[in-house]
Amino acid sequence: MSDPVSRRKFLSRATLAIGGVILVGWAIPAVAYIFGPARAGERLREWRPLGSPAKVDVGTPTLFKTQIERTSGWVTQEEEVSLYVFTEDGQNFTGLSNICTHLGCRVRWVGDEERFFCPCHNATFAKDGRVTSGPPPRPLDTFDVKVEDGQLFVNVEV
Amino acid sequence: MADRVTGPIDPQSGAEPPPTSWLDERTGSRGIYEAIFLRNIPKVNWLFTLGSATLFVVVNQFITGILLTVYYVPSVQDAYDTVTYIDSSLPLGWLVRGLHHWGSTALVVLVILHMLRIIFHGAYKYPREVTWLTGVVLLLLTFAFGFTGYLLPWDQKAYWATTVGTRILEVVPFFGDWLLRVARGGEELSAVTLSRFFGIHVWILPALMLLFVAVHLFLVVRIGISAPPKKGD
C-alpha cells in the first residue's frame, strides 16, 4: 500500500469491524435458537402390549390402538398410535401403519373390497401394504410386532 | 466535504463514481449518512458515549425480546414452562434470555448515568429542553419496561414482586383502590395481570420507545451536543 491509512480511516474501519463482530454475536444465538427445535431428536423405542393375538382375525387387518406419552417443547401429552395388525396363519404377524405415505391422511381397511383406502386422494393399498392405486410413493410403513407369553407386542417410538 | 459526489454524474470528469452514488442519487443517502456520522461535535470525553451505549442496549433488548416471544407464552399454564424451555432445552436459549435479563439491568444503569452526565454538564438547558423532556419520558418508559417484564417469568419472585409493586398504588388518596385494580386487571394478581403486562411490555411500550428514541435522536443530531461547561459558564 502506497498511502498510509489515516487515523480517520482506521477508526471507521475498526468501528465497522467491531460492529460486525457484535452483529455476528447476535446472529449466532438467533439462528441456533430459531432452528433448534428443527433438529431431529433421538427417539426411544419401546415394546407396547396390544392384548391377545386371538383378537386378530386371520386374513383380515385388524386395528389396534396404544397410548404413548409424547413431549413437544414444554407440553407432554398422551397420544394415540394406531396400527393394523395382519396375519395369514395366526403365527406370523405384521404391523402396518395407518398413515398414508402420500400426505399423511389416515387410511382405513375396507372389508368388502379387501383393501386399504385413503379418502384424501383415493389411494388404495393391498392387505400387505403395497400401493395398488393412487399417488402414494411407497407401501404403508411397518411396525415390528411380536408375540410373547401369549401377548401381542408392538415396537413404537415414544 | 469537497469530494462529495451527489446528483447526476458529470460526464466531463472521468472519475469512477462511488458504488453508493446510485442510491444517493435517488434517496439522498449520503446526506443522511453525513448528517449523522460526520457531524461536527465539540471536544468531548468518554462520558459522552453513555447515550450511544444506552441506544446499543435498547437495540439489544429489541432483538432478544423479539426472539423470546418466539417461544414464550403469556398464560398462567405456560409462562413458567416456556421460560424453563427457553433456558434449558433450546440451543443458546439461555444466552438469548440472559442477554435480555442482564440487558434490562444494564439499561437502567446506563440510562441513569446518561441522565447524570446531562445534569452535571447542564446539557438540558436552552435550546435542548425538548431533548431533555423526551429523555425523561424514555426514563419512565425504561422503568415501565422493567416493571412489566419482571412479572413475565411467572415464578415466585415475579409474582410477589408484582404483588408488592402494584400494592404501592393503593396508598394514593381517593383513587388508590381503583388504580390498584387497573394495574392488576382485577382485585388479585391473575391470568389477566399476566396477559396485560405482556401486552404492555411487548406492544405498547416498544411502540412508544421507538417513537421517543426517534425524536430524541433527531433532536440530538439536529441541534448538536453541548460542549462540557467551562469555568464561569
Nearest-CB residue to B78 (from A29, A36, A74): A74
Q: In this complex, is the C-beta atom of B76 within 8 Å of any C-beta atom belonging to chain A?
A: no
What distance separates the 2 farthest-apart alpha carbons in chain A? 91
What Å distances lie between residue A62 and A53, A108, A111, B13, B139, CA to CA? 11, 10, 10, 86, 69
- Residues in A closer than 8 angstroms to B101, CB to CB, are none
Cβ contacts of residue B33 below 8 Å, gap of 6+? none
What CATH homologous superfamily does B44-223 map to?
A: Cytochrome Bc1 Complex; Chain C (1.20.810.10)
Which CATH number is A45-157 given?
Answer: 2.102.10.10
Reported as a pLDDT band with limits 50, 70 and 90, residue B14 is: low
Testing the interface with B: which of A26, A33, A34 to mutate, by most B Cβ within 10 A?
A33
- Residues in A closer than 8 angstroms to B70, CB to CB, are 33-34
**End-to-end C-alpha distance for chain B, whole angstroms:** 32
Reported as a pLDDT band with limits 50, 70 and 90, residue B6 is: low
Q: Kindly report, residue by residue over A48-58, the tens digit of the pLDDT.
A: 999 998 888 88
Q: Kindly report, residue by residue over B169-196, the tens digit of the pLDDT.
A: 999 999 999 999 999 999 999 999 999 9
Q: Cα-flanking dihedrals φ and ψ of residue A152, to 5°?
A: -95, 130
Reported as a pLDDT band with limits 50, 70 and 90, residue B11 is: low
Testing the interface with B: which of A74, A76, A77 to mutate, by most B Cβ within 10 A?
A74
- Residues in B closer than 8 angstroms to A37, CB to CB, are 90
Alpha helices, DSSP H only, in chain A? 7-35
Residue A67 parent element (H or E): strand A62-72
Closest chain A C-alpha to B63 CA, distance in angstroms = 8
Nearest-CB residue to B81 (from A28, A37, A74): A74
Domains of chain A: which residue ranges? 7-38, 45-157
Give residue B212's pLDDT.
Answer: 98
Which SS3 state, helix, strand or coil, does residue B233 take?
A: coil
Domains of chain B: which residue ranges? 44-223
- Residues in B closer than 8 angstroms to A29, CB to CB, are 67, 92, 95-96, 99
Which SS3 state, helix, strand or coil, does residue B130 take?
A: helix
Closest chain B C-alpha to A36 CA, distance in angstroms = 6
Q: What is the mean pLDDT of residues A76-104?
A: 91
pTM attached to this predicted model:
0.85
- For chains A and B, count residue pairs whose Cβ atoms are closer than 8 Å: 40
Reported as a pLDDT band with limits 50, 70 and 90, residue B73 is: very high
Q: What is the mean pLDDT of residues A143-157?
A: 91
Whether pLDDT at B45 is above 90: yes
Exposed/middle/buried for A39, CB within 10 Å: 0-12, 13-18, 19+?
Answer: exposed
Q: Kindly report, residue by residue over B111-125, the tens digit of the pLDDT.
A: 999 999 999 999 999
